[in-house]
Amino acid sequence: MTLTSTITPGGGRARPQPAVHRLRGVSSRDRDWDGVRLHVVTGKGGTGKTTVAAALALALAAEGGKVLLVEVEERHGIAPLFGLDSLSYAEREIAAADNGGTVYALAVDAEAALLEYLEMFYGLRRVGGALRRFGVIDFATTIAPGARDILLTGKVTEAVRRRTPQSARHDGPGPYVYDAVVLDAPPTGRITRFLNVTAEVSGLARVGPVRDHAARVIDVIRSPETVVHFVTLLEEMPVQECVEGIAEARDAGLHVGGILVNMVRPALLEDSVLAAASQGVVDVAALTRGLQAASLPDPSRLAQELSKEIVEHARHMRVAAEARSRLAAAGRPCYDVPFLDDGVDLDGLRRLARELRDQGAV
Amino acid sequence: MNPTPPRTLDVDDLLDNPGTRIVVCCGSGGVGKTTTAAALALRAAERGRHTVVITVDPARRLAQSLGLTELDNTPRPVPGVADSNGGSLHAMMLDMKRTFDETVEAHADPQRAEQILNNPFYQSLSSSFAGTQEYMAMEKLGQLRRSDEWDLIVVDTPPSRSALDFLDAPKRLGRFLDGRLVRFLGTPARGGAFRLLGAGFGLVTGVITKILGTQLLKDVQSFIGAFDAVFGGFQERAEQTYRILQTEGTAFLVVAAPELDALREASYFVARLSAEQMPLAGLVLNRVQQVHADLSAEQGSAAAELLEATGEHPLAAAALRLHAGRVRQRNREQRLRNRFAADHPDVAIAEVPAYPEDVHDLDALRAIGRALAGVSTVP
Ligand SMILES: Nc1ncnc2c1ncn2[C@@H]1O[C@H](COP(=O)(O)OP(=O)(O)OP(=O)(O)O)[C@@H](O)[C@H]1O
Ligand SMILES: Nc1ncnc2c1ncn2[C@@H]1O[C@H](COP(=O)(O)OP(=O)(O)O)[C@@H](O)[C@H]1O
Ligand SMILES: [Mg+2]
Ligand SMILES: [Mg+2]
């Protein structure tokens, strides 16, 4: 009996929607999204959804379990991050995490999902050729409203629900195959429609397997074990989209997770220095003395030039600070994902994963 | 190896040339297409041309300064544009659904038009099908070009993941509407043509009905029935517009951020344009890191370390760290730029600095215009 209720690794309480972000450093293993099994990662295009989703998967796997990272946009973005050529429509192990954890990955494409669905529910095998010839595949996967979304979410939620067969001695369902699933989801502009299968399905078949299929998808998506995280940069348009996206997702009854602030650069200057510099005021004399002490040539001219860079940086940081306060008003926990100077690779992802864990995200 | 510097794009030459009638700004999402389109249009207008800019998704404050307070699909005059050289600037924001509706209305008799506009399948096609936005941007461009009211039309393209979508999506939509499935879904159910299709047909309609439901099938059928009559005109117009893009008077600008992905996308696009014989004016490299002091990253880091070890002069130490980071970033960007230039030696490049604040007012657009023209500016 108890096996069917929300059991999480480590027996943590289900606390999918904390009201406020825990203070950093209070306890690095007090995990904000304990109990969540499907992490949907959205954000404006190009803000780092794929990168952050991959880091999140590594961070979750570092609890020692199995985590599935899924992409649905046919972008083939995951494979290169992990130094692989490509992923196919088959789950495969792509990286080991700390504590014996494993990250698996899957690139879902709508056509394969459709064929799998037809075979599973209608026993239709090898119909792909005929359907393709008549343009039905194209029609169902790109044009028919909502059909593509339900095929993709159907596959993702199936992986969330999947259980290992239980040995004969035990009753009830076996344990979940994946401790968590991370979805590199469509961008903010489409995420609510993508997840809002109910509304879309009403335009599709209202009876039969599709209906049941949709109902199972909805169960998973609406469950408190599913949250939608938003990736943003500290820039105006991404923040605007993020804030609007959160409101829209909430209105649609989805559980909003955290805000993942990506590409954060370290603060090099004190707040008071930044505040003055953003108004164009830099202590050039002090700067000159410092450059002189470092024996740099032509210190007074160099100080003038560097102060221009300081002012630009400070103005940029002011924009970033304004962005932060707009995000704070959204009332969701925020996590910083640092900017990786040397580009993103597996080592970089591991660093981002550690940062997420240090901040108590997972 | 010291790479030859890339060719510099002369934007003023392009904008001032009366033969230039259309400038299309392409590129992957978020790189600054809308900003570049607006800045070019403003510059052209203030240099004396009657210009209109079609924007797709301007940032809210940019839209406001362009006078785009409502989405009404008609060019509106932009307030605050200098007209001392005899030019003018109008701007409009593309409303794809409305453009689609208007095109239907222009091609169908009123009764049929209404039938189409009320069809649920049409409604979802015209508001959410991937590619409709691109198709409608083309349609609007064609309309404005045919009206011949403007010296110069500057077009921003939809925020698709790939710059190529702008060229491919209209065809994809056209192919679907003209495709086999649609043809036979549109055929009256008892028609003789069905028998010729043989056994495949039952399977296909069976699957569609099962997955998508009979209602959708009915909607599609009645949509096709009504749309068929106007569709020929549609297709022909899209092709006409496509041909305009191949004429001398059109110039494509590819906008990219100085990042690997964006430049890779730009490379694909450049190759594609040349395959389609579409005239490329150059690459705009937007948001380039600015460095103001001539001190290498290594020198900067070493000096910062020295100061940090003494614990004195924290301001200078931080300034040097900051500088070193900026130099590294700029060097990375230049490497990417040079690689692009080596792969595409014929493509001229204009660089626009990364300004600390977003671009929302005419002054900021003017600064970008000057940067595009290679007139050096202090932000
Ligand atoms: N923290 C980071 N530090 C440095 N670079 C980053 C970081 N996050 C993302 N990037 C880089 O930014 C670019 C965009 O990232 P990514 O592909 O993850 O974004 P996305 O939101 O998935 O984009 P799309 O909308 O195109 O799917 C990539 O080149 C990536 O390497
Ligand atoms: N050179 C620049 N310096 C600073 N900000 C810029 C620059 N170019 C664009 N931006 C900002 O970047 C964001 C995205 O630009 P936009 O032109 O809307 O991109 P696209 O149309 O390609 O999606 C906007 O907020 C814009 O103000
Ligand atoms: Mg991605
Ligand atoms: Mg745009």
Maximum Cα–Cα distance for chain B, whole Å? 93
**B127: chain A residues, CB-CB within 8 Å:** none
Q: Of A122, A130, A209, which has the smallest distance from its Cβ to B200's Cβ?
A: A130
**Superfamily holding A38-266+330-358:** P-loop containing nucleotide triphosphate hydrolases (3.40.50.300)
Given this model, what pLDDT does residue A239 score?
Answer: 97
Q: Taking CA atoms, what residue in B is nearest to A233?
A: B30
**Residue at B321 is within a domain:** no
Q: Using N-to-C axis directions, what is the helix angle for B120-128 and B214-244, rounded to 10°?
A: 40
* Contacting residues for A181 by C-beta, under 8 A, at least 6 apart: A37, A38, A39, A67, A68, A69, A70, A156, A159, A160
Helix (H, G, I), strand (E, B) or coil at B258: coil
Contacts of A293 in chain B (CB under 8 A): 307, 310, 312-313, 316
In this structure, chain A runs to a length of: 362
Of B261, B263, B264, B333, the residue with max ligand 1 atoms within 8 A of its CB, to mutate for a pocket test, comes to B261
Q: What is the mean pLDDT of residues A77-101?
A: 92
Nearest chain A residue (CA) to B332: A342
B110: pLDDT strictly greater than 80: yes
CB atoms within 5 A of ion ligand 4 belong to B 33-34, 57, 159
Report pLDDT for B28.
86
Query: Residue B195: its pLDDT value, please?
Result: 46
b/e B293-310 (16+ beta carbons within 10 angstroms → b): bebebebbbebbebbeee
Residue A131: both structure tokens together: 């359907």
pLDDT digits (tens, 9 = 90+) for B13-42: 999 999 999 999 998 888 999 999 999 999
Cα–ligand 3 centroid distance for A46 (angstroms) = 7
Q: Would residue B269 count as lying in a domain?
A: yes
| Centre of ligand 1 from the C-alpha of residue A5, in Å | 36
Whether chain A has a CB inside 8 Å of the CB on B311: the answer is no
Q: Average pLDDT for residues A242-247, to the nearest whole number?
A: 98
Contact across the interface for B316 and A75, Cβ inside 8 Å: no
Would you state the pLDDT for residue A13?
A: 35
Contact A311, A224 (CB under 8 A): no
Angle between helices A208-222 and B199-212 (to 10 degrees): 40
User: Residue A244 to residues A43, A118, A206, A328, B329: CA-CA distances in angstroms?
Assistant: 11, 37, 31, 13, 32
Of A73, A144, A319, the CB nearest to B357: A319
pLDDT exceeds cutoff 50 at A225: yes
Closest CA to A67 of A55, A76, A58: A58
Q: Indicate whether residue B32 lines ligand 2 (CB < 6 A).
A: yes
**Domain residues for B345?**
11-189+200-295+337-373
Q: How many domains are contained in chain B?
A: 1
Q: Kindly give the number of the ligand 1 atom that is closest to the alpha carbon of A339.
A: 3
Asked if the model's pLDDT at residue B270 lies above 70, the reply is: yes
- Say if residue A115's pLDDT is above 70: yes
- pLDDT tens, position by position, B137-168: 888 998 999 999 999 999 998 877 676 777 77
Res A209: pLDDT = 66
CA distance linking residue A198 with residue A103, whole number of Å: 31
A143:B125 CB<8 A: yes
Q: Taking CA atoms, what residue in A is nearest to B309?
A: A294
CB-based contact (8 Å) between B319 and chain A? yes
Residues of chain A with C-beta less than 8 angstroms from the C-beta of B290:
309, 312
CB neighbour list of residue B26: distance below 8 Å, 6 or more residues apart: B33, B157, B163, B166, B252, B253, B254, B255, B269
DSSP-assigned states of every residue in B300-327:
HHHHHHHHHHHT--HHHHHHHHHHHHHH
Residue nearest to atom 24 of ligand 2 (CA): B358
- Percentage, residues of chain B above pLDDT 90: 56
What pLDDT is recorded for position A342? 83
For residue A12, the model assigns a pLDDT of 36
More confident residue, B202 or A227: A227
**Amino acid A168: pLDDT:** 66
CA distances from A311 to A269, A277, A317, B159, B235 (A): 11, 5, 10, 32, 54
pLDDT in tens, A321-335: 999 999 999 999 999
Mutation for testing the B interface, residue in A122, A124, A132, A136 having most B CBs under 10 Å: A136
The amino acid at B280: L
Q: Which position has the token pair 């549109």?
A: B186
User: What's residue B51's pLDDT?
Assistant: 98
- pTM for the whole thing? 0.89
Predicted local distance difference test score (pLDDT) of residue B81? 97
Tokens found for residue A114: 């459709």
A153 pLDDT band, cuts 50/70/90, is very high
Across the range B93-111, mean pLDDT stands at 89
pLDDT of residue B298: 97
Section A184-204 average pLDDT: 80
Any domain includes B287? yes
- CATH number assigned to the domain comprising residue B254: 3.40.50.300
B200 vs A240: CB contact, 8 Å cut-off? no
* Residue B3 covered by a domain: no
Rounded mean pLDDT, A43-69: 96
For residue B328, list chain A residues with Cβ-Cβ distance below 8 A.
341
Backbone angles phi, psi at A175, to 5 degrees: -70, 160
pLDDT-derived band at B221, boundaries 50, 70, 90: confident
Contact call for residues B340 and B334 (beta carbons, < 8 A): no
Q: Smallest Cα–Cα separation from B140: which of B54, B207, B77?
A: B54
pLDDT band for B212, please (50, 70, 90 cuts). Answer: low
Tell me if chain A has a CB within 8 Å of the CB of B217: no
- Rounded mean pLDDT, B76-103: 94
Q: How far is it, in rounded angstroms, from Cα B266 to Cα A51?
A: 21
Q: For chain B, how far is it from start to end, CA to CA, in angstroms? A: 33
Rounded Cα gap, residues B282 and B244, in angstroms = 19
Query: ipTM, 2 decimals?
Result: 0.88
pLDDT of residue A196: 85
